[in-house]
């Protein structure tokens, strides 16, 4: 028993550094990340950490269509997020917003 416990930290360390040993965490795709930075979304949203606004994985869990996300970014509905301050309408050119919305709507 004692021995097993002693090996535990080592095992955890190994697990942490073994690539692709578990299903990959969701990641922000390389073509979307710079847009989130460019339009300042990163000030209030992170992938899986609550900031001022909900984390992207929580937004993804709402299973919105891309079209609906585009509407909500241009015209937020704070009632969808009790406990959060209201988001101000965000001005993002359609082509870029489409990329962001497609990603959010495709999140599992
Ligand atoms: C100043 C902080 C802030 C910034 C900047 C910001 N958001 Fe938000 N966002 C919020 C908050 C707070 C909420 C939850 C309340 C709400 O929807 O009004 C939210 C909600 C959302 C939602 C969910 C909408 C819904 O009704 O479910 C989406 C999608 C979203 N933000 C996308 C974006 C995108 C894309 C950008 C960048 C263009 C952005 N946000 C920038 C604070 C922010």
Contact (CB, 8 A) for 78 and 84:
yes
pLDDT of residue 24: 58
pLDDT in tens, 72-87: 999 999 999 999 999 9
Q: How far is the CA of 79 from the centre of ligand 1 (A)?
A: 12
Question: What residue ranges line ligand 1, CB within 6 angstroms?
Answer: 39-41, 43-45, 52-54, 59, 62, 69, 72-73, 76-78, 80-81, 84-87, 90, 92, 100, 104
Name the closest-CA residue to atom 24, ligand 1: 72
CA atoms of 34 and 53, how far apart (whole Å): 18
Give 10-residue mean pLDDT values along the chain (108 residues): 65 58 72 97 97 97 98 98 98 98 93
Which residue segments constitute the domains of the chain, with CATH numbers given?
27-106 (1.10.760.10)
Exposure b/e, 68-102, CB count within 10 A at least 16 = b = ebbebbeebeeeebeeeeebeebebeeebbebbbe
């Amino acid at each position: 028993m004692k021995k097993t416990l002693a090996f535990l930290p080592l095992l955890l360390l190994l697990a942490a550094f073994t690539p692709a040993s578990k299903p990959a965490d969701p990641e922000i795709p390389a073509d979307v990340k710079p847009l989130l930075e460019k339009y300042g979304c990163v000030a209030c949203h992170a992938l899986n950490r609550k900031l001022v606004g909900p984390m992207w994985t929580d937004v993804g869990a709402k299973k919105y269509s891309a079209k609906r996300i585009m509407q909500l970014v241009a015209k937020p509905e704070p009632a969808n997020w009790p406990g959060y301050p209201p988001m101000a309408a965000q001005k993002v050119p359609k082509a870029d917003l489409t990329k962001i919305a497609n990603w959010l709507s495709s999140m599992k």
